[in-house]
Amino acid sequence: MHSQARIPNGIHNAIDYERLAPQAMDAGRHAYVAGGCGWDATLAANRAAFGRWSIVPRLLRDVRGGHTRLMLGGQQLAHPFLLAPVAHQRLAHPDAEIATARAAEATATCLVASTLSSVPLEAIAQAGGSAAPRWFQLYLQPERAHTLALLARAEGAGYQAIVLTLDASIQLPSRSALAAGFAMPADCTPANLAGFPPAPASALPPGASRIFQGAMRHAPTWDDLAWLLAATRLPVWVKGVLSPQDARQLQGAGVAGIVVSNHGGRSLDGAPASLAQLPAVRAAVGSSYPLLLDGGIRSGQDAFKALALGADAVLIGRLQMYALAAAGALGVAHMLTLLVEELHACMAQAGCAALADITPGALLPCPPAAAA
């Protein structure tokens, strides 16, 4: 199920794409995309965290020269919104990541392409042109030779950074997706892994754990991170950080930047909201270390709050899929345009002419009763 290439009626704000998504997607696919894992507690926490802060309006500020430009990882961006590495985009639209890449080019948005994309990383790069940066999200493969092959392909296709996801060694399904009877369609098989044979199954000895000795058998370690940093010429970011201690250790290991993220609530149900951990992670790594926020962004106001609490930029995940389902490349480009304009309006009313003006002092905590 997908819509024609036009902006659907009733889209006034970026979050409206979330409201229309059930009309644009098959029920099972929507349940999978919208869900997290387990009881979706962390998924809900990501959204609720933004409601715990209010934005303080300021008066008589001259913002006529206002803009949202920033430098991130040595690259200039027009605005602080990046397209998150969302897997299996053919679930939302037949054009999948090709459409998303075209939207990124049209809006000068940095696209982070997933290892688990529905189309090859080279096709995504070609569709995205050269108007905006593009990064490649990496899952370490059981065989290091396969990881090296992915790195070589990403470097050859012009990707400018690697985003290593480390918080998804185990992903339990969402109860809502299970209730909807969702099964991954055959046409959503990850194109980038097509040439890699699956890791051979090995029988567990009696008494062994399906988790510790099974699912975690190939989980990354600090040795694997050190190996990766030496294996590529590209800067390596790490996605999936919630612990300030981990953040400091990653910084010390030479990681280029960090994405504060709980995998959109898809990893450990019961983990804290990404926004809730952001200030502590920022304090751990200092004021100048590159830091992104992933999880729960639905508006320019949400982005403003993330920037005030320590993020340099934010990643857009589910809204990307909802807009893709509703109107393909045009929908994703429109959604991004709305987010940027919403951020402009918020900044103007808060007296912030540039992203550097957005500080913790721009926010006030809401009373507990107002945070629901």
CA distances (Å), origin 286, targets 183, 273, 313: 43, 21, 16
Distance CA 318, CA 21 (A): 10
The catalytic site residues sit at 263
307 and 276 in contact (C-beta within 8 Å)? no
296 and 47 in contact (C-beta within 8 Å)? yes
Contacts 24+ apart (CB under 8 A), 279-288: 279/309, 279/310, 279/360, 280/244, 281/241, 281/242, 281/243, 281/244, 281/247, 281/310, 282/309, 282/310, 282/311, 283/244, 283/310, 284/244, 284/245, 284/247, 284/248, 285/247, 285/248, 285/251, 285/258
